[in-house]
Amino acid sequence: MPDDSAPPSLRSKRSITLRFNIPISKTSRFWEALGEGRFVTTKCADCGKVTFPPQADCPSCMGSNSQWVDLGTEAELLTFTFVQVTPTSFVDHDPYVVAIGRLKDGLNVLAWVEGGDPAKLKPGARLRVETRKDPESGPYYVFVTPS
Amino acid sequence: MRDVAIVGIGHSKFGRRMDVDLAELAFESIKGAMEDSGVQKKEIENVTLGSAGGWYEESLPAVLVNEYAGFEDVGTMRVEAACASGSAAVRSAYLSVASGEAEVAMAVGVEKMTEVDTLTSVELMGRSGSYLWEFENYGMTFPAYYALYAVSHMSRYGTTEEDMARVAVKAHHYASMNPLAQFHKEITLEKALSSQVVSWPLKLYDACPITDGSAAVIVASEEAARRLTDTPIWIRGIGFSSDSANLSKRADYVGLRATVDASRKAYAAAKVGPNDIDVATCHDCFTIAELMAYEDLGFCAKGEGSRLVREGQTEVGGRIPVNVDGGLKAKGHPIGATGVSMMVEIAKQLRGEAGGNRQASIKNGVGLVHNVGGTGHYCYVTVLSRSK
């Protein structure tokens, strides 16, 4: 916002756009499965530790023999928020509800609550994970509130 | 390990500081700390700079600041622990002296956050987690992370939006008496409660502002400290810890595990407990964060943070005054400068130099700095005292 009383500043002529290429080779199965409508994660073949988000190397025993397992989709809402001031790269997006839900096996997931009415949500509410395919941004997952 | 004391403190005016660039801003505090201590430039053996960076044009702030201040042949580095970078810088200077490597060392915290637009700052802070799983598809923001904690705390313990607003009213009250604070106007509970919702249930007045600012401390060995000052402030114990990058990996959302662990370590190192603390700065980037800090630091039982603020126990004259400099909430929160600013405030309090109605009653001569990085990603707790 222009401010006549502001001290002089030099507006830099140089600008850069940061867009990262994020390596996902070790977890690409997760994103492929999402595209097929399945919600999966990694389980350590050595010690049995299941992790979410998926990771190739086990944080428990440090083994590197992971296998893919299906995750349940029923969750209990632990907490949520209704984001009304959105960051630059979401500036054209409608405000969104984000929740952390706990799956039956004890793993937590953070995702948007699709169509979630913040006035009706509270900790303890039932949620379900569903997969989505966006033609532009690729597959992702959301929570829905079962009717 | 040798005993180490803070012998000099410097602090810039906090706020939107478009009258200075990064190095000029840092210089204000460096000069202040040198004048306060009487230390000569040649005595300072190393400088650690706390700065998160990303929102200003420089990539190597530590050498830039060193050059501007004329430090030649002086070792330096920038340290990053998000909003706890300042405490991390002080720990680095402390270790340099405690180990016997240096007699006198300096820690500087500086951040210049207003050179980019507000929503870009919001974006850069929102990426402070596990990017692919929290930001890429879900656009988390810093207020949103703390809002997840607020909703859980409200649900578990009955904490209300009004309880959180009381923290903001207290912060603005004390900032109005702090000439270095970003804001100088008192606010009412009604004003706080009716402010714009940022990420429900957190509103504009639950959130700290975006701030430019710097702070510096000079630390010294006992021998150097006795020569330099009659009022050394001893660094009695530092505890630090961390928690998961991805918030969804945590067991619950009613407190910060990193705070509990860091404070346990700091109390043990300093051989004090929460009841010995005369005055504290707690990391109130959001109002809910201050209420959780009371609990996680042991100033009250879990779930009773809101009672403490309702009863005025954390004001001057109360059982344990907290953030009577205005806190991050109203003094301002220049990310990397905040931890050092907290050290400056507690040193002033223990020296009896806070002034006017901001001065806490010092009985045991012990103060505490609680500095969180990110959403409990990092935590540093530092215990300071008048005698060792």
Residues of B at the A interface (Cβ-Cβ below 8 Å)? Answer: 18-19, 57, 115, 117, 119-120, 122-123, 126, 130-134, 136-141, 143-144, 147-152, 155-156, 196-202, 246-250, 252-253
For residue A139, whether the previous peptide bond is cis, meaning omega lies within 30 degrees of 0, is no
Nearest-angstrom CA–CA distance, A42 and A65: 10
Of B11, B173, B283, B333, the active-site residue reads: B333
Give the closest of B155, B197, B248 to A108, CB-based. Answer: B248
Q: Any catalytic annotation for residue B83?
A: yes
Query: Which of the residues B17, B19, B131, B138 would you substitute to probe the A interface, choosing the one with the greatest number of A C-beta atoms within 10 Å?
Result: B138
Q: Do B126 and A87 touch (CB under 8 A)?
A: yes
Q: Which residues contact A94 (CB under 8 A, 6 or more apart)?
A: none
Confidence of residue A3 (pLDDT cuts 50, 70, 90): low
* Cβ contact A100–B253 (<8 Å): yes
Is-contact B7 B93, C-beta < 8 A? no
3-class SS at B251?
coil
Q: What is the pLDDT of residues A76-93, one digit of tens each?
A: 999 999 999 999 899 888
B120 Cβ contact partners less than 8 Å away, ≥ 6 residues apart: A88, B55
The one-letter code for the residue type at B253 is: Y
∠ CA B74-B346-B325, rounded to 5°: 115
**H or E stretch including A75?**
strand A74-83
pLDDT tens readout for residues B141-170: 999 999 999 999 999 999 999 999 999 999
Distance from CA of B121 to the nearest CA of A (A): 8
User: How many other C-beta atoms can be found within 10 angstroms of the C-beta atom of residue B276?
Assistant: 16
- Whole-model pTM: value is 0.96
Give me the residues of chain B with pLDDT under 50, please.
none
Catalytic (active site) residue B208: no
What pLDDT digit, counting tens, does each position of B189-248 carry?
A: 999 999 999 999 999 999 999 999 999 999 999 999 999 999 999 999 999 999 999 999
Written as one letter, the residue type at B124 is L
Q: So what's the pLDDT on residue A1? A: 46
Confidence of residue A4 (pLDDT cuts 50, 70, 90): low
Q: Are A109 and A103 in contact (CB under 8 A)?
A: yes
Q: What phi, psi does A115 have (nearest 5°)?
A: 65, 15
The secondary structure element, H or E, covering residue B157 is helix B142-157
Partner-chain contact B122 A22, CB within 8 Å:
no
The token pair at A69 is 């397992």
Q: Nearest-CA residue of chain A relative to B120?
A: A88
- The alpha-carbon gap from B17 to the nearest alpha carbon of chain A, in Å, equals 9
Please give the pLDDT value at position B122. 83
Q: Where are the beta strands (DSSP E) in chain B?
A: 4-11, 46-50, 75-79, 104-111, 197-200, 202-203, 213-221, 233-242, 279-281, 366-373, 378-385
How many other C-beta atoms lie within 10 A of the C-beta of residue B336? 35
CB-based contact B139 A86, cutoff 8 Å: yes
> Which chain A residues are closer than 8 Å to B212 by Cβ?
none
Candidates B11, B83, B173, B285; catalytic one = B83
Q: What is the rounded end-to-end Cα distance, in angstroms, of chain A?
A: 46
A-chain CB neighbours of B254 within 8 Å are none
Q: What is the pLDDT of residue A18?
A: 87
Q: How far apart are CA B27 and CA B11, in angstroms?
A: 10
Chain A residues with CB under 8 Å of B138 CB are: 96, 98, 110-112
More confident residue, A2 or B142: B142
Which residue has better confidence, B351 or A138?
Answer: B351
Q: Which of A22, A89, A118 sits opposite B200 (nearest CB)?
A: A118
Q: Number of CB pairs < 8 Å for A and B?
A: 111
The 8-class DSSP code of residue B327 comes to I
Q: Which residue of A lies nearest to B252 if distances are taken between CA atoms?
A: A78
Mutate to test the interface with A, among B21, B249, B286 (most CBs of A within 10 A): B249
Q: Confirm if B270 and B277 have CB atoms less than 8 A apart.
A: no
Tokens of B152: 């859980």
Distance CA(B242)–CA(B238), nearest Å, equals: 14
pLDDT digits (tens, 9 = 90+) for A97-116: 999 999 999 999 999 999 88
CB-CB neighbours of B129 under 10 Å? 22
Alpha carbon distance B37, B46 (integer Å):
16
Q: What is the pLDDT averaged over residues A7-34? A: 93
Q: Is A88 on the interface with B (CB under 8 A)?
A: yes
Alpha-carbon distance of B372 to B38, in angstroms, equals 31
- Of B57, B199, B248, which is closest to A109 when you measure between CB atoms? B248
Q: Residue A61: is its pLDDT beyond 60?
A: yes
CA distance B126 to B140: 5
Contact check, Cβ <8 Å, A53/B120 = no
Among residues B313, B328, B306, B292, the alpha carbon closest in space to that of B360 is found at B313
Q: What kind and span of H or E run contains B166?
A: helix B161-175
Alpha helices in chain A (DSSP H): 28-35
Strand positions, DSSP E, B104-163: 104-111
Pair B208, B328: CB distance under 8 Å: yes
Residues 3-42 of A with CB under 8 A from B: 6-7, 9, 12, 22, 24
Report the C-alpha dihedral over residues B371, B372, B378, B379, rounded to 10 degrees. 50
Torsional class of A57: left (φ above 0), alpha (ψ -120 to 50), beta (otherwise): beta
